[in-house]
Amino acid sequence: MFFLKISDPIQYIHHHLHFLQINIKNFKIIHDYDTVPAYLTLNIDSILFSLILGSTFLTFFFITYKKLSFNYPTNFQVGVEMIINFVNKNVQDICPTNNLLIAPLALTVFMWILLMNTMDLIPIDFIPYLFNKFFGLNYCRIVPSADVNITLSMALSIFILIIYFSCKNKGIIGFIKELVTHPFHHFCFYCFNFILESISLFAKPISLALRLFGNMYAGEMIFILISGFLPWWLQWTLSVPWSIFHILVIFLQAFIFMILTIVYLSIAMKKNND
């Protein structure tokens, strides 16, 4: 709160909820006084931290693979193996189909979201201060999963895979027929079935995205409120207990997204045996 020199808590909250955006028409940073349509903006802070965290995950796992040792495993290797076994067990328990995509996808989803969520534990002013000091940028939000655009993009990728595997196993005609004939098989209900099944289908990515976004946005908002309304010497009394509790939320949201991804894809693949 010190580097911003904002005494009004409301203004402080507004500042921390503002993304670092660029206008894709002229690639210039958008300021408060600029009026730019939403479809012409990119939240470059969310994209930047998503790419950094994704690259970090891939780099560390690749290094672990290159330095793999069966006789003298390092602590980091043991940790990576525990994560892989944890994800693989969930995949085997939920999806009996032997598919080479689901396990790597589940691992990627789990680790990527876990790292993005963990950014919420970094002091709220620390990284924005560095961006302001070294790059002269006034805005920076560091929790990509608190940006609905990021969560919707991830959920849309899962949705595309659901459609792909459903069409692959049933065929396009078979997939459409399934939407029309379930749950009621009488031809009088075909229109009703299609509406009902379409809503159920589109609800999957929307619920995935909004569940993750809502929980992480709420957690970020509480940290902002603590930092904005309490003096610095008193903030730890609330921020520390909330951080401890928030660790559970961070892990749980990554776990739920991963489990639902496995479930949705396993349902699409099981249709091959119908």
* Among 23, 211, 243, 266, the one annotated catalytic: 211
* Among 55, 200, 207, 272, the one annotated catalytic: 207
DSSP 10-46: HHHHHHHT---EEETTTTEE--TT----GGGEEEHHH
* Among 166, 215, 227, 239, the one annotated catalytic: 215
Identify the burial level of 136 via C-beta atoms within 10 angstroms of its C-beta, where 0-12 means exposed, 13-18 middle and 19 or more buried.
exposed
Core vs surface per residue 105-123: b (16+ CB within 10 A) or e: bbbbbbbbbbbbbbbbbee
Q: Is 239 among the catalytic positions? A: no
Residue 122 φ then ψ, to 5° = -75, 135
Residue 28 φ then ψ, to 5° = -110, 150
Q: Is 141 among the catalytic positions? A: no
Q: Annotated catalytic sites, by residue?
A: 207, 211, 215
